[in-house]
Each structure stands twice: as structure tokens, then as C-alpha cells.
Structure 1
Amino acid sequence: MSLKEIFHNQKPVGDTAKKHTVSGKSGMVSCAVKEAAIAGEEILKQGGNAIDAVIAMQLALTVVEGMNTGIGGGGVLTYYHAERQETKIFNGQSRAPSTVTPNLFYDENDEMLPFDERSTNPQSVAVPGAMKMLELAYNTHGSIEFEELINPAIRLAEEGFQVNRSWERTLENFQDRLGTEARKLFVPDGQPLKEGDFLYQPDLAKSLRIIRDEGFNALYKGEIGDAIIDTLAEHGGIMKKADLENYQAAIEKPFWGKYKEYDMAFPAPPSGGGFTLAQLLNILEKLNISQYEVHSWEKYHLIAEATRVVLADQQTYIGDPSFITIPYKALLADEYIEERIKLIDFKQRKQKIEAGDPWKYVQGDSNYKVKMDKSRHGMDTTHFTAVDQWGNIAACTTSLERIFGSGIMVNGYGFMLNNDLTDFNPEPGTANEPNANKFPISSKSPTIAFYKGRPFFTLGSPGASTIISSVAQVLLHVIDYKMNLGEAISEVRIFNNPQLSMEWEDGINQEAMDKLKELGYELDRSFKKETADDRIGDVNGILIDQETCMLYGAADSPRPGSAIGINDISKT
């Protein structure tokens, strides 16, 4: 019955927000940039599958959203194979080079480097995994000639595309992060590109043609890989060619969470987002958050405080499971969740929230310093998803970590290198400390939700730790409040972390704002410099109605994204 209510509300009825929800019978894509969405749409129209479509979108995003993702980044993909009724994760997250040590971000005086210095440091560059992830996904499930998947990206790089407002805002706020090579392209003659300008990227087109002709090994074992190592060496980096050559993407089992009668498939650690999202949903279910009106101060308060609670645990206990022991069961145990809920007070916002002690609920002990990571992390990523005519689902989140990553562009090859190692806790001895060949913890959460074993919703978002809160709120808006998908994504969101870094979107009603201030919330706009967008996250999602075989898609508003429904499939 609950799904019937949800899908009944997906039909556009003229409301402005609802017009953002599109439908399709034979496929759907949702992506943060329209040009990339079109690339995925064309692949589905040609008879390609969901994996083909997300590969085409990722390669196009390398060109049109190169400040957030690209050849030099990492990512993770959640995939549902309809015929086999099987869900799997393709892990292409970036990994620390073999020369990394726990004191990576300390200077010669044993002082921790400031975040801004760490984030543009060549030693923050991790071994990029996104392209290896695409290669593994394509070799496992690809059905269209690879040339067809990469050619749209090559055309966009060679023929250019029109700079949008998102690019202009990004360059206005973050051009100081760009190195010399990148400034030549994005800030020609000292003038940052503006909305309406055309951006041509011949060096990036060259890299994409090499990948088309020689395969992804050109990045890991060939010419492009050599250029990465040479560029880093010029800047004082520590990555070696062997780090690229030895990198392998992996197919992994999902981590399964639950909210009411719905099952959720997430990437497992070292992706920390899915596990933390599962813990957040567990708390919100026990708080019976749906009893409160969607615009009530109670709803905003509970989401903000519950998010602080789960992030305190994530920042203390979650790390690469190849290196540390994670108390999974204890962190999700009913007794522990009830204990953590006691921290949430309707009379005031807590000034301090620390991690709990899950170890008292399980046998064993931590093999690391139990200390919360209070350092800053980057904010920008991208998310995109596709559902094909057979019901296969691919949800993918990729990133350079900070906007423009490390700021370092590979000489002559036109793409930015990540700064993913800033996702580590810079303090040695902690769960998420830097170390050789270790995955830093990210909050990427490409999600597929199931009802009675059948997928009905896929979504994800960029935004570092705000990803967790953004995905949770859109899930609540659809599942509990039965909102139209476009409305559910457009609905205002709120975020807070253990360090009281408050974020919220314009549109919270005055009554709720007044009550939140009374509870101790400091509602200012100091966070705005952290992102080039006007909203928290950038959720893209697709709803799948298994009964009618209709698909409903929507894209968030901060970036020039698009959801496109497909009804006509080529028979050739």
C-alpha cells in the first residue's frame, strides 16, 4: 500500500516543483550536468544498458564537470542486475601511495599542516581509481562498443561547451586553488571564465583519445601514467609509477541497511557513508520522525542532532577495514542506538557531542586511538545514475575530493589530480590515519532502496559528510511524507556535524527558524565559501514502479543537471 501512495504522487500536475519530475517507460538517467545526462540518454536509446550509460556520463563529466570529477579522481558504483536479482559494488576509490606514512601531514617541526595547505599539497594526491572502476564495470557488464561510450566526451572536449553559472561561481570562489597549468585553461590572461564562454580542452581530448585507442591501462601503465608521475615529481609529490601499476578496482558485496520495511544497499567501508547512513536511519526510525510535519522545527532539529551523533561515531570508529577493526554490530545494536538517542534533547541543542563506546557491547577492543577526527574535509563530488529497459540500475558517485582537487593539472593532458588523502584523519594512531596502500574514508553513498526484495528507488549526492544527511532527508521525503520526487529533492535540507558546523537551505519557515535559534542554533551563512552551490548537496534520483514499469527521475537545482526519460529504443 505504501508504494502505491508513493507512485500515485509522482504524476506531474502542473506544480512548478513537480515539473522537475520526468517519466519514462524504457529507461532513465539523472545527472548533475545536462550535457553528461544527454550522453547517457543516447546510450540507452541505442540499446545500451545502465553500466554503459553511467560510463558515458562519467566520461562526459570529466569534460563538463572537471572541477568535481575526472580521470584523476576516485569513485564507487552500486549496481543491481535485474535478471540475476543481484546487487554488487564496484569499488574504484582512491588509495594512498606505497610511500605514505602516518605523519604525512606533519612538517619538519612535527606541526600539523593547516587544512588549506594540506589540500593543495602534492602529497595529498591519492592513486586515482575511478577509471579502473569503469574498466571493471565495462568488462563485467558492458554491452556497447567502448568507442561509442567515450566519443561524446571527446567531442565535448574538442568542440567545446558553454560555461554555465556553476562553473562561473566555482571559479569566482576557488580560482586561488588552481596551479599554473590549470590557470592557463580556466583563468586565461588572469580572467576567470564566465557564464556563456566556451571552454575548449584539446589536452583533455588527447587523453580521452589515448584511453579510447589504448584502453584504461594507458592511465595506469602507459603514457598518461608517466605524465602523472612526472607532474607530481615536479611539484614534490611522492607517488611512484608502481602505485599506478598495482592499483586494482574490486567487486564487493554491499552493506545492507534498513528503514522500516525498506532495505538499502550501500557501499561498505572503506566507504564510510553507507554505514553511517544506515545508523542515521536507524536512529530516525526509533525517533518516529514521520510523526512530525515535514516543515516542523522538530523534524529539522532531530535530523540535525541525529546527524551529529552518527558523524561523531564515523569520525572515530570507521576506517579501512584492511587496517582496523570496526565494531559494526555494536554501532547498529538496539542498546547502543538507544544510548545514543539519549543525547538528543528537545529543550536545547547539545553544545558537545562525542563518540559513544560501542566496544562495551561486543567482545574485543579497538586497535587504534579512540579519538574523533575534527579536521576539515572537502565538499565536492558528483552523483549520477541510470536505469535501463531491463531494469538494471547503476548509481555512481565520483570525486576529486576538494573543488579542483589538489589544484594540480597533469602537464599536457588536461585533467586535475585529486586530493583524496585529505579524507584521512591527519593525526597518527587514529582509525582513519594515513598509511601506505590504505583507503581514506569517504562519505560517498550511491544508494539503491528495495521494497520486498524489489528495487524502487536509487539516489545519491555530492557534499562530503553532508551526503549522509542529504540522502537520508530525500529518502524520508519520499518514504514517509509520500512526496513527488522533484518536490522531495527540492525540499529544504538541514545539516550539522559534531563540530557545530551548521548548514541549512533557504526556505525554512520563520516559526521553525525562531524555535531553532531558541534551542541554540547559530544560523549564519559562514559555510557558503565551502561550496560553489546554493544548496546542500546535489541529489539525483530515479524511482522505479515495478507494477506499471514506469520510471520517474529528478535532478537537484544547484548544478545544471537533468533527468531524462527514455521511451523509444533503437532496434538497429
Structure 2
Amino acid sequence: MQDTFFGKTKLHSAILTVCLGGMLLSACETVDETAKGSLQVVEGFAGVVSADEPRAAQVGRELLGNGATAADTAVAMYFTMAVTMPSRVSLAGGGVCSYYDKQENKAVAMNFLPKSSTSGGVIPKAPRVMAAMHARFGAVRWQQLVAYGENLARFGNPVSRSFAYDLALANKRLGVNAELLSKFAREDGKLPREGDKLVQPELSGILGGLRAQGAGYLYAGPLTRRYAEASTDAGFPLSSDDVRNYLPAFDEPLNVQVKDDIAHFSGDVSGSALITANVLGQLNVSGDYEGASLEERSHMFVEALKRAQVVRAGVASGQVTAEATLAEEVLENVSDSYNPGSATPMSALPYQALPASGNPYAAGFSVIDKYNNSVACSFTLNGLFGSGRMAEGMGIVLPAPPRSSADGLDTVMSVVVANEPTAFSRYSGTSAGGAVSASALGKVMADTLLANIPLKDAEVAARLHHSGKPDVVFYEQKSSAEIVESLKSKGHDARPAPEFGRVNSSHCAKSLKFNPETCSSAADTRGYGLSRLAR
């Protein structure tokens, strides 16, 4: 059964350490950042950007419009979101990034999930990953990029609808530590609402140090011990060595063919990234998705999603490697049992699906720049406001330790899609929503890249989800009656659910450099993000 379902291929993976040639990142952090360039206004179309937090999207648009690369833009957007959306993004957090570099014609993955150290606390990873990305791909001075977040923290910024929503949710439903929430309170003691000004002086001080001294300020200086002690005092033990010794890497992404392009996924190889990649791969090898009706595509997508859940179980059990499942021959084998007129019971597939493991509280962004580089990043604190604790005197929200080794595998993922023969970026995207993130991103990508549906239409279209266990299709309540009836007529147990998933997308049907009119971006209307075109 295994050979018939998966076929036989071999895994080839490569891990590239930071700063090329295996040099330690601390060396990168001592590079004279003044050697980097300054911003310059560019003429014409400059890029596309989408983010879960509006101010970050505006910062991204400004940078792209002034000639920054996708890497520069990502660094500034991250430090901005650490200020404007600290409920999900923090200097102490983790996540994933995917980056496609046109000059190298190569994509890399950066996987830095917030996992427990041997001491018990969670190592802060994101700032060092941003430094690594900037050292390799950036063009604008580091100081200029970090200053965006620093100034917002020091002088204040209007609370966005995104953060106001998280504050209200944490206060009313999740019971987040009241002392933590009080750090964001107004002078009258109430939590800020949309539009209220929020000043974070302690956080601005830390960002000022990172701006002036680079990421080494946190990882190789006096702040290292101070942070470790603050985390320990908050109940999450860390040693200075835990923080100092963390070194990110540029990894080989999970790669799958999508028409003439390659999709490069970041994320855990047994999590949402694998599911989305496998769904796309199945639909691509079938060749039928583009010409099918809406009802037929819905059935195809659900059936591919069910098989992808089974593939994930096979990977998690060690029966097959994640990379092997994305080979064309294997994808054809996996799809071989597809019946266009009938639902395949999960019990008829070779492995039992695994329970999904992820919280919905992540936030990210997607970018394509004028040079045809692209980046997508998604960040998390392992829960809304993470642990519910803050590093004393630093203004940094501490992430929650994962509850198990599998916790968070479905929380964050990112993807960039590139056309290697012509070296241009086609798509970049992220998804949040926990267990439903894979199906949400998979549907948007399949509709946009395989069915040639305009990106904004694909983003707002009703979504479908199947977790593998139970054997139930969940459809958004706004789904058309025709789709629901079609699924039921084929034997699917279809049930309504509230809207799900938060997808950020940037897409160019043709090269942004030569055909900018084909480019667009979209923030999910199910959330409160923002998308922008840079000119």
C-alpha cells in the first residue's frame, strides 16, 4: 500500500548556515552597516505588499517606493509589527520566512519556531534571523530599518483595528494576564481602542540599542544577561548562553512544481507547509483544476486536502520524507485513487490523519519588490500575547513555551513562488488560523496560480477545510448552495463553519519589472490587515 500510495523517491536536503561559508552570525553583526546604501525615490511601479497589520503595510509601501529590496522591507515591517501588534509579534518570538533572491535565482527558508530551550524558556530568535536576512540580501542601512519601529514605540502610534481586536479578545475571552494588559492601558486605566495613541518607552529603548549596535546588542552584549534574567524572573528559565548561542540558518525549502514555476515553502516539514505544498502538487499534476467548474474544483480541492493529511501522517511516522512526497511520480500515485464523482472515505486511505496542532494567533506579511525579489514571513508567540508575561523593564512580550514537540506545527508557514527560467517572482504569501491555515492558503494559491482567478477574487472566495479526522468537510457559511449541494451529492459530510484563515498574498502574473500592471496584493478581508501597491 505504501509503495502504491507514495512511490519511491529519495530526499536531498541542504542547510546553508548564515552569512555564507558557515561563518558565525556574530561576524555578520559586526559588519559596518554604513556600507549599505540609503533610500532613494524610484520612478514608476515599485512593488506590492500585504500585511496583517496596516501600519506595517504602509511602512513596506514607503520602503519599496524608495528603492528598498524585499529583505530591507521585511526587516522594517517586522520591527514595526513588534511595536504595533505585540499580541502576535515580538522581539522574543519566532516564526518562518521564505525568500527568493533574483540575483542568485534561488529561494531559501528560515525556520525559527519559538521552541523551549534546555533551560525551559523560549529563546528569542526573530531579531537574529532578520539580521541574517539583511546581511545576505539587504541594501539599505540597518539603522534606517529598525528606526521605523523605534520611532513608533518612542513617539507613539495610533492603535490599529488589528491590535484593538486582539486586546479586546484577550481581555474578554482568553483571560490574558491583567498585569500584562495594563502595560498597554490608557491613562484612565482602560484598554486602548482603535485610534488611541500607544507609547512604549521601554520597548523603544531596546529597539534603539538594536538600531545602533545591530542584533548583537541582544545576543552578544550586556542585554543578553539582562534578557535571560528577565525571562527567568517571569517564570521561563533562560541562561545567557541559551540566548548567545542561537544561530539561525538558511535552509532548503519544501519545493513543489506549480505549472512552470516552483513554490518554495517554509515551515515544519510535518506541518501546514507540507499539507499546502502537497495539495498544490496534486492539483498541478492532475492538470484538470483550471478547466473545471466551481463545483468540480471544490470536490478536487477537498479530495486533495484529504490525501495531503494522509501524506502528513506518513511523513510524521517516518514512512516517507516530506521532500519525497512532492516528487511528480509520488503526487501522481497519491492522486491515483481520486474519483471525480464520489468522495473517498478517509478509512480507504493508507494512514490515519493526525490531529492538527496549532494556535490561530500568528501574523505575517508578503512582499514582491521592483527587482523581482520576494519574501513572506509569519510570526507567533505560541498564543495571543504569548505567555501573558513581559520581560521586566524591557517592554518585550514573552512567548509561551510549546506544550509539546508537535505544538505549533500548523501555526506559521510562508511561501514564495518563482519562475526560475526567467528569474522572476510570481507569488508570496502567508497564512494564519492554526489548523485551517493550510487549507486557506492552499485554496487561494490553487485558484490564483492554477485556475488563473484574479488574486482579490481568490482571497474573498468561500473556503473549504478538511482536517482528515473527523471525515468532515467544513465550508464557510457564505458558500454557495450549489457548492454545498454538489459536495453532499458526492458523499461528502459537509457542515457549515464560521469564516476561517487569514491569508496575505502578493502576486504578479508576469514580471513586475516589465509587466507591473499584472501585479496585485491582497490582505484577507476576514482580518484587519492592509495591502498596498508601491509607486
Q: 2:329 aligns with which of 331, 334, 359?
A: 334
Question: Does the 8 A contact of 1:89 with 1:252 survive in 2?
Answer: yes
8 Å Cα contact 1:97/1:126 also seen in 2: yes
2:514 maps to which of 548, 561, 565: 548
What SS does structure 1 have at the residue aligned with 2:482?
helix
Q: Give distance in 2, aligned partners of 1:192 and 1:95.
A: 30
Of 155, 163, 168, the match for 1:167:
163
Report the more deviating stretch, 202-211 or 283-292. 283-292
Aligned-residue Cα RMSD (Å) equals 3.3
Paired amino acid for 1:338: N
1:565 has 2:530 as partner: no
In the TM superposition, residue 182 of structure 1 has moved relative to its aligned partner by 1.6
Q: 1:92 to 1:330 in 2, by over 3 A?
A: closer
The residue number in structure 1 matching 2:122 is: 126
User: Helix, strand or coil: the match of 2:250?
Assistant: strand
d(CA) in 1 for partners of 2:268 and 2:278? 13
Q: Hey, what's the Cα distance between the residues in 1 that align with 2:218 and 2:270? A: 24
Please, which runs of 5 or more residues in structure 1 have no aligned partner? 1-22, 100-122, 357-370, 427-438, 529-533, 568-572
Structure of greater relative contact order (alpha carbons < 8 Å, 6+ residues apart): 1
Q: Are 1:30 and 1:37, in contact at CA under 8 Å, matched by a contact in 2?
A: yes
Aligned ranges 1:152-551 → 2 under 5 Å: 152-175=148-171, 176-186=174-184, 191-267=190-266, 269-270=268-269, 272-287=271-286, 288-294=288-294, 296=295, 298-315=296-313, 317-318=315-316, 326=321, 328-329=323-324, 332=327, 334=329, 338-339=333-334, 342=337, 346-348=341-343, 350=345, 356=351, 373-374=354-355, 376-419=357-400, 421-422=402-403, 424-425=405-406, 443-450=412-419, 452-455=421-424, 456-500=426-470, 503-516=474-487, 519-521=491-493, 523-525=495-497, 535-543=500-508, 545-546=510-511, 548-550=514-516, 551=519
Q: Distance in 2 between matches of 1:66 and 1:126?
A: 16
Contact 1:82 1:390 (C-alpha < 8 Å) held by counterparts: yes
Offset at residue 223 of structure 1 (A)? 4.7
- Partner in structure 1 of residue 137 of structure 2: 141
Give the distance between the partners of 1:517 and 1:407, measured in 2 at CA. Answer: 43
Indicate the SS of the match to 1:554. strand
Give the drift of 1:71: 0.8
**1:13 match:** none
Change (3 A) 1:67 1:238: same
Structure 2 CA distance for aligned equivalents of residues 257 and 327 of structure 1: 11
Q: Hey, what does 2:62 align to over in structure 1?
A: 42
**CA distance, structure 2, for counterparts of residue 273 and residue 128 of structure 1:** 23
Work out the CA distance in 2 between the residues paired with 1:341 and 1:224: 56
Deviations 1:337-379 (A, max 9, x none): 53565377854574658763xxxxxxxxxxxxxx864264211
Deviation of 1:61 (Å): 0.9
Q: Distance in 1 between matches of 2:256 and 2:90?
A: 30
Equivalent residue number for residue 78 of structure 1: 98
Displacement of 1:411 = 1.7
Deviations 1:291-333 (A, max 9, x none): 4323x2x4334323432332343255249x9xx9836425756
Q: Could you tell me how far apart the structure 2 residues matched to 1:27 and 1:171 are?
A: 32
The letter of the residue matching 1:313 is V
Give the Å deviation of 1:520: 5.0
Deviates more, 1:328-337 or 1:545-554: 328-337
> In 1, distance between residues paired with 2:447 and 2:99?
23
Q: Secondary structure at the residue paired with 1:523? A: strand
Structure 1, residues 128-174: CA drift from partner, whole Å, max 9, x if none?
32111101111222222222111121222223222333333323333
User: Secondary structure, in 3 states, of the residue corresponding to 1:446?
Assistant: strand
Separation (CA, whole Å) in 2 of partners of 1:71 and 1:127: 10
After superposition, the Cα gap between the structure-2 partners of 1:201 and 1:471, relative to the gap in structure 1 and judged at 3 Å, is same
User: Aligned partner of 1:460: which letter?
Assistant: T
CA drift of 1:514 comes to 3.8
Contact 2:502 2:527 in 1 (8 A): no
Question: Residue 411 of structure 2 contacts residue 432 of structure 2 at CA under 8 Å; is this kept in 1?
Answer: no
* C-alpha distance in structure 2 between counterparts of 1:38 and 1:165, whole Å: 14
TM-score normalised according to structure 2 size = 0.79
Structure 2 unaligned blocks of 5 or more: 1-42
In structure 2, what is the Cα distance between the partners aligned to 1:34 and 1:486?
A: 17
> What secondary structure does 2:182 align onto?
helix
**Residues 463 and 536, structure 1, Cα contact 8 Å, conserved in 2:** yes
Alpha-carbon deviation of 1:424? 2.4
- Tell me, yes or no, if the aligned pair for 2:229 and 2:239 is still in contact at 8 Å: no
Q: 2: distance between equivalents of 1:274 and 1:499?
A: 18
- With normalisation by structure 1, the TM-score equals 0.75
The 8 Å contact of residues 29 and 37 in structure 1, kept in 2 or not, is answered as: yes
Cα 1:440–1:516 change in 2 (3 A) is closer
Amino-acid identity (%): 20
